[in-house]
Amino acid sequence: MTKGGYEVRKSTAVAVLFALVVMLALGALAAGCGEEKVTTTTAAPAPTSETTAAPPATEAPPATEAPPTTTPAEPKELRIGAAVSLTGLFSASEQLVWEGEQIFESWINTKGGITVDGQQYLIKIIAEDCQSTAEGSSTAATKLIDAGCNFQVGPIVPFTVIASGTVTEPAGVLRVVLYNCHTPDEYGPDTPLTFIANDVTTDFIQPDLDYLKANYPDVKKLTVLTPDDGAPPIFMPMVKEMMVDSGFELLNYFEYDMAAPDFTPYVTQALATKPDAMFFINGWPIFMGNMLKIARQNGFTGPIFGSHEDPYDIAEIAGPEASTDFYTHNIQMDSPKMTPLIQEILALGQDMFGKQSPTYVWGFNSCYCLVQAIEHAQSLDPKVVAEAWENMPSIDTVYGPGVMGGLKSYGIKHNVSYATPFSMLKDGKVEFIDFLPVELP
């Protein structure tokens, strides 16, 4: 082959040399980039009884009990599939979810796994990459089923949840999704094997409004920014109703493209409505941190409420100057008000991955609730577990005691509901406020 009369040189030696030099160059890059950023290196202080609304999580939840000494057989392996986006736009946060799930695997197996019908099971969590796409999510669900996972945790984002459900529901796989944005195809009567183990989208709104009313009496006008993921037309009427019922006016809401090169146009439009406070409903820290920075750079000084996103990541992106008066339903990792189990998870994360992250707790909680349901059902049949789970009178969560809800909002009693953690960013620092009660969905 030639270009302009030049012969192509393609000797094997050059190709081999090229491969070697590429590897060397990548190695050098790895040396430069590989240093871990340790978010928090100190162990969380011990909790105080006055601040932990829930009983300590270590108060003998079923999954933590030691296996009976009379276990007749060798432990077997119970495979749980983890559908997470390890690559693509959502990977920065979802890799942390996966690490949280690995922490759970280590934690539960150290305690002897679970016991079902007299048989001890050690948990093996297998991850498949959803690639931050719908097709990747359905493929991941299929591969997990092929790997023998009748129970799955994940995914998170609506279109990935919907795509995954088209595979898991017909296959009779019980699935615990980590989030919900109220689209009927994500979760509802038509998805009888889908559960949610965390507080989600609209659960956060009323506690936020109550807090706003109590602490910012002059705030009356609100504007919302939310990702263009197909869900806003469904949940925004509910949000508007809650806002109006609480005495606020919703000026407008704007949907942003998650892959936008710059969020400034969306934030600028939102600020043009002249709100007293803003709500960033749903989305990842990379979006929220950026929008928070832009809002502050554009002179907005009012309070901003996120959903549940990692406040540390938001502060990392927004920078210390912009990271103030921002509220999110997440934890402060070194707060003494954290439950003992949260502290244990963070300490395990430090040991296993050299860092701590609030997202570990999120990933852990889904697996934690799932194995409690399996033990409660004393069955490995997903349909039996589903029936037993929705009738559980109570369930332990990493945040404290939970109850099953969902009938009112979704027509299916598959939500684990618990008092939601609430923190704020103030002058670049995360400050835990409290666990706030959530109305049963």
Partner 1 sequence: MSGSLLAQSAVNALVLSSLYILMALGFALLLSIMGVVNFAHAVIYMVGGYVCYELIVTAGLNNWVALAITALGLGLFGLFLERFGFRPFFGNTNRIIVLTLAVIVILESLVNVLVGSEVRAIPSFWSGSFQIKGVWIAHERIIAFVAAAVLLIAVFTFIRRSRTGQQMLATSQDFVGATLQGINIYRITAIAAFIACALAAVAGGLMGSLMFLNPFAGDQMLVRAIQVVILAGIGSIGGVLVGGLILGVLNAFLPLWLEGSAVDAVGVAVIIVIMLFRPQGLFGHEA
Tell whether residue 37 is a contact of partner 1 (CB under 8 A).
Answer: yes
Query: Which residues are registered as beta bridge partners of 127?
Result: 82
What DSSP element (H or E) covers 252?
Answer: strand 249-256
Quote the CA–CA distance of 266 and 260 in Å, as a whole number.
10
Closest CA to 84 of 98, 66, 72: 98
Nearest distance from residue 98's CB to partner 1, in Å? 8
Q: Look at residue 338 and give its three-state secondary structure.
A: coil
Piece of the chain touching partner 1 by CB under 8 A; list 1-9, 181-189, 239-247, 404-412: 1-9
Nearest distance from residue 22's CB to partner 1, in Å? 7
Tell whether residue 393 is a contact of partner 1 (CB under 8 A).
Answer: no
Tell whether residue 364 is a contact of partner 1 (CB under 8 A).
Answer: no
Lay out the site mask for partner 1 across 93-112 (x = CB under 8 A, - = otherwise): x-xx--x-------------
| Residue in the structure block whose two tokens are 């008092």 | 419
Phi, psi of 436 (to 5 degrees): -100, 140
Nearest distance from residue 131's CB to partner 1, in Å? 10
Distances (CA, A) of 406 to 119, 205, 415: 32, 16, 5
Count the neighbouring beta carbons within 10 Å of the beta carbon of residue 202.
22
Tell whether residue 12 is a contact of partner 1 (CB under 8 A).
Answer: no
Quote the CA–CA distance of 361 and 390 in Å, as a whole number.
23
DSSP string for 413-426: --EEEEPEEEEEEE
Q: Which one, 257 or 431, has the nearer CB to partner 1?
A: 257
Indicate the burial class of 428 (C-beta count within 10 angstroms; 0-12, 13-18, 19 or more).
middle
Q: Look at residue 304 and give its three-state secondary structure.
A: strand
Nearest distance from residue 298's CB to partner 1, in Å? 4
Tell whether residue 283 is a contact of partner 1 (CB under 8 A).
Answer: no
Tell whether residue 339 is a contact of partner 1 (CB under 8 A).
Answer: no
Quote the CA–CA distance of 416 and 26 in Å, as a whole number.
45
CB under 8 Å to 391, separation ≥6 — which residues?
A: 404
Tell whether residue 244 is a contact of partner 1 (CB under 8 A).
Answer: no
Tell whether residue 262 is a contact of partner 1 (CB under 8 A).
Answer: yes
Quote the CA–CA distance of 396 and 40 in Å, as a whole number.
26
Q: Which one, 132 or 366, has the nearer CB to partner 1?
A: 132
According to CB under 8 A, which one of 101, 105, 128, 310 is a site residue for partner 1? 310
According to CB under 8 A, which one of 92, 380, 407, 440 is a site residue for partner 1? 92
Nearest distance from residue 303's CB to partner 1, in Å? 19
Piece of the chain touching partner 1 by CB under 8 A; list 54-62, 105-113, 181-189, 249-257: 249-257
According to CB under 8 A, which one of 169, 185, 228, 434 is a site residue for partner 1? 228
Quote the CA–CA distance of 350 and 43 in Å, as a whole number.
9
Residue 267 structure tokens: 């934030």
Is 167 within 8 Å of 145 (Cβ atoms)?
A: yes
Q: What is the 3-state composition of the chain as percent helix, strand, coil, each rounded to the nearest 5? A: 40, 20, 40
Tell whether residue 269 is a contact of partner 1 (CB under 8 A).
Answer: yes
Residue 196 CA, chain-centre distance (Å), reads 11
Q: Which one, 17 or 43, has the nearer CB to partner 1?
A: 17
Piece of the chain touching partner 1 by CB under 8 A; list 27-35, 164-172, 329-337, 339-347: 27-35
Quote the CA–CA distance of 152 and 150 in Å, as a whole number.
7
Nearest distance from residue 203's CB to partner 1, in Å? 24
Tell whether residue 332 is a contact of partner 1 (CB under 8 A).
Answer: no
Residues composing the chain:
441
Tell whether residue 301 is a contact of partner 1 (CB under 8 A).
Answer: no
Tell whether residue 86 is a contact of partner 1 (CB under 8 A).
Answer: yes
Nearest distance from residue 171's CB to partner 1, in Å? 29
According to CB under 8 A, which one of 32, 72, 170, 217 is a site residue for partner 1? 32
Tell whether residue 402 is a contact of partner 1 (CB under 8 A).
Answer: no
* Binding positions for partner 1, rule: CB under 8 A: 1-6, 8-11, 14-15, 17-18, 21-22, 25-26, 29-30, 32-37, 86-89, 91-93, 95-96, 99, 132, 227-228, 254-262, 264-266, 268-269, 272, 285-286, 289-290, 294, 297-299, 310, 313, 316-317, 319, 321, 357
